[in-house]
Amino acid sequence: MSKVLVINASARQDRSFSRILAAIFVGKWKQKHPEDSVVHREVGQENIPHVSEAWIAGAFKPAHLRTEEDVAALSVSDTLISELKEADIIVLSTPMYNWSIPSALKAYIDQVLRVNETVLIEPGKPDPYTGLLKNKKAFLLLVRGNKGYEPGEYFEHMNFQTNYLKTVFRIMGIQDVEVVLLNGAAHGEEASSAALTAAQGNIEELINR
């Protein structure tokens, strides 16, 4: 039995394409793996704290030297990291906001990408990063209002969403990352519903693979 962690990053609930994709994913996954458990982590509508001076002071010192203040500052991070560590499958659904990711998702990433917890950093090595999350697979469900962000397309140079998120997962040790795209969500009902149908097909294909 595997544990699936579903992270939703859209600021909206109503008419959210990324949440629809996540729900489709969960439905298809449960059909194929009824014994698996699913945990949801809300990011888009929660105020996940930004890292603070106290957070940084605590995170970069050995655990046994942490003060009560350090421990308190790291408590949200600890909770979010333990959720990630417990998951076998991570499903992240997110819109593109301003050619990147919602700031709420960036706050989440800053909480979980943490030295000695999800990444080991050895300065001076050609590749100083060793990811500490093992045996996990991630699915990125990425939604954009516009289109043309793929390699060779007109807005490729403005896509700070796909590679950024893949890098974050890979730095934490998750190499197995699949991407489902829904482009043109803001291009009217006909275009967006065709894009949704195509994305649904991609999800089914990935799950049945």
Ligand X SMILES: Cc1cc2nc3c(=O)[nH]c(=O)nc-3n(C[C@H](O)[C@H](O)[C@H](O)COP(=O)(O)O)c2cc1C
* By the rule CB under 6 A, 95 interacts with ligand X: yes
CB of 193 to ligand X, least distance (A): 13
Minimal distance, residue 142 CB to ligand X, in Å: 9
Q: Does 50 bind ligand X (CB under 6 A)?
A: no
Q: Look at residue 128 and give its three-state secondary structure.
A: coil
What gap in Å lies between CA 180 and CA 139, rounded to an integer?
7
Among 24, 89, 96, 133, binds ligand X (CB under 6 A): 96
Residue 194 contacts ligand X per CB under 6 A: no
The DSSP code sequence of 140-209 is EEEE-SS---STTSTTGGG--SHHHHHHHHHHTT--EEEEEEE--TTS-HHHHHHHHHHHHHHHHHHHH-
Tokens of 153: 């397309």
Size of the site for ligand X (CB under 6 A): 17
**Among residues 79 and 197, whose Cβ is nearest to ligand X?**
197
Does residue number 99 form part of the binding site for ligand X (CB under 6 A)? yes
**What residues line the site for ligand X (CB under 6 A)?**
10, 12, 16-19, 95-99, 143-146, 185-186
